[in-house]
Amino acid sequence: MSQETVSQRLSTLIKTLGLNPRSFSEKYGVNEGTTRGYTTRGSVPNADYIGTLLNSIEHLNPAWLLLGKGEMFLTGAPEVQVLDVKRPEDATAQEQQVKALQREVERLESQLRDKERIIQLLEMQLSK
């Protein structure tokens, strides 16, 4: 993951597009003062601002902009694929749910084996 901040990547994006904060803001429909705040003061862009950019700039890679992963632009991709990334606490809760479900499956499998054995015993008694 990149050590750059979202604000630094925003500045890089603006330069790569050959724009300045004013022309960038005008072109992509965001507030110039907000853009300057993000790029000069290092403020963290809010979700609405990021969403506007992702919807306005063709092939902008959200993983790059938000996390510094991958390339700035997705190549040959008509749609952006968003991965569902869970927070560590969510992952722990999910792991606990998976374990509980695995135990439930084991319990049901055991009951099924017991019932199959009972059926076998009853079938043996009927065949006598």
**In a 10 Å sphere around its CB, with 0-12 CB exposed, 13-18 middle and 19+ buried, how is residue 67 labelled?**
middle
Cα angle 31, 34, 39 (rounded to 5 degrees) comes to: 125
pLDDT at 120: 87
pLDDT at 121: 87
pLDDT at 79: 47
| 11 contact partners, CB below 8 Å, separation of at least 6 | 39
pLDDT at 82: 47
Q: Which residues of the chain have pLDDT under 50?
A: 1, 78-83
Helix 6-16 and helix 32-40, axial crossing angle in degrees, nearest 10: 120
pLDDT at 21: 95
- pTM of the predicted protein model: 0.58
pLDDT at 95: 81
pLDDT at 125: 85
Q: How far apart are CA 60 and CA 27, in angstroms?
A: 15
pLDDT at 76: 64
Q: How far apart are CA 9 and CA 13, in angstroms?
A: 6
Of the candidates 82, 65, 52, the residue with the CA atom closest to the CA atom of residue 16: 65
Beta bridge partners of 73: 60
| 19 contact partners, CB below 8 Å, separation of at least 6 | 27
